[in-house]
Amino acid sequence: MTEAFDGDWLDLREPYDAAARNAELASALAAALPARPRILDLGAGTGSLLRWLGHFFGRAQAWTLVDADPALVERAFDTIADRADGVGWTVTQPNRRTLLVHAPGGAWRVEALLADLAEAPENLPLDSVDAVVSTALCDLVSRDWVERMADACARHRLPFYSALNVTGRERFMPPHPADALVMRGFRRDQRRDKGFGGVALGPEAPRAIAEAFAGRGFSVHRGPSDWIVDRRSRLFAQEIATGHGAAAFAWERRGAAAIEDWIEARRAQAADGLLSVRIGHQDVLALPPAG
C-alpha cells in the first residue's frame, strides 16, 4: 500500500509549499504548453498544486487530479470551490465528477481520477493530457517507478514537472545535541519502501529524475524550493519537529530517550516562538525534445 497523507496536514503545509515552489520553472512549464493545457496531477491531495500553478498558465485549462484517497479528492473539490468563491470567481458543477472554475483568463475544468499510483504509468490517461505534474511525490517512489514514468512521458512527448523533492538538507535552529541522531534516523526513514515497488528515492529524487529524463533526450531544469519556516510559524514548526522525531524514533531505538528529549525540546521552542526550520527541496522540470 502506498504512503497516505492527512488532509489537515496538507492544508497546513499549503502556504509553505506555495512560497517554496520555484516560480521560474513554473513559468517555463507554462510557456511550453498549448493554448488550453490539459494537466495530469499525480498524488493531487487537496489540490494545492492546481491552486498555485494554475495562475502561471493564466488561461483556460483542464486538470485531472489523481489520488487513491476518495476523501482527499472530495476535499480537493470543496477547497478549490471555496478558494475560488473567496476571490469572487464563479464556480459551477455540471456533474458530480466535474468542477468548472470561471477564472478571468478562462475556465479551469477540474476532474478527478481515483488510481493507485504504484501502478503508474499504465493506469494513467497519458494520451489525453499535455503535461504530468506532482508535488512531494517523487521522493516517495522507487528508481524503477521514475524510469517507467520517463519512458511513458517520452512516448507521449509530455513535459514532467516534479515539485518539492527533498534534498536531505535540514536545519533546525537553535542547535540541539541530538540533531545528528534525529537527522540520521529521518534520512533512513526517507529511504524505506513506501509502496512504489522498491526503496524510496528520498534525497536522491532530483538526481534520479534528471538522469532518467535526460537519458531520453529531455532538457532538464532544476531549481531550489526550500521550506523556510521562521519563528512565527509555531504550529508548522511543531508539526515538522514531531514528524522528524517520530520518523527517527522508528530507526534509532537505542537513541529513543535522546530523540524523545529532542521532540519535547523542539516542540517547546516552537510554542515559544524560538524555533526556525529550513527543509531543503528542489523542483525539477523535464521538457521533451522539440520536433
Residue 183 is assigned to a structural domain of this protein: no
Residue 147 is assigned to a structural domain of this protein: yes
pLDDT(3) > 60: no
Report the CATH number that the domain containing residue 157 is assigned in CATH: 3.40.50.150
pLDDT(190) > 90: yes
Residue 178 is assigned to a structural domain of this protein: no
Cβ of 231: how many Cβ atoms within 10 Å?
Answer: 15
The pLDDT of 19-25, averaged and rounded, is 98
Place of cell 499525480: 42
2 and 138 Cβ atoms separated by less than 8 Å: no
pLDDT(176) > 50: yes
The pLDDT of 138-147, averaged and rounded, is 97
Q: DSSP letters of 96-160?
A: TTEEEEEETTEEEEEEEEE--GGGTTTTS-GGG-SEEEEES-TTTS-HHHHHHHHHHHHHHT--E
Q: Model confidence over 199-220: pLDDT tens digits? A: 999 999 999 999 999 999 999 9
Alpha-helical segments (H) within the chain: 7-20, 23-32, 48-57, 70-86, 143-156, 179-190, 205-214, 234-249, 256-271
Residue 1 is assigned to a structural domain of this protein: no
The pLDDT of 135-146, averaged and rounded, is 97
Cβ of 8: how many Cβ atoms within 10 Å?
Answer: 11
Letter string b/e over residues 13-34, b meaning 16 or more CB atoms within 10 A of that residue's CB: bbebbeebbbeebbebbbebbe
The pLDDT, as a whole number, for residue 1 is: 45
The pLDDT of 142-149, averaged and rounded, is 98
pLDDT(2) > 70: no
Distance CA 280, CA 162 (A): 15
The pLDDT, as a whole number, for residue 97 is: 87
Residue 90 is assigned to a structural domain of this protein: yes
Domains contained in the chain, number: 1
Q: What is the CA radius of gyration of the chain?
A: 19
Q: Model confidence over 264-286: pLDDT tens digits? A: 999 999 999 999 999 999 999 99
The pLDDT, as a whole number, for residue 130 is: 98
96 — pLDDT class (breaks 50, 70, 90): confident
Residue 269 is assigned to a structural domain of this protein: no
Residue 151 is assigned to a structural domain of this protein: yes
Report the share of the chain in percent with pLDDT over 90: 95
End-to-end CA distance of the chain: 39
Average pLDDT, the chain: 95
The pLDDT, as a whole number, for residue 5 is: 65
Which domain covers residue 105, as residue numbers? 7-168+198-228+280-287
Cβ of 258: how many Cβ atoms within 10 Å?
Answer: 16
Q: Model confidence over 45-89: pLDDT tens digits? A: 999 999 999 999 999 999 999 999 999 999 999 999 999 999 999
Residue 128 is assigned to a structural domain of this protein: yes
Rounded to two decimals, the pTM is 0.95
The pLDDT, as a whole number, for residue 146 is: 98
The pairing of beta strand 98-103 with beta strand 106-114: antiparallel
Contacts of 272 (CB under 8 A, 6+ apart): none
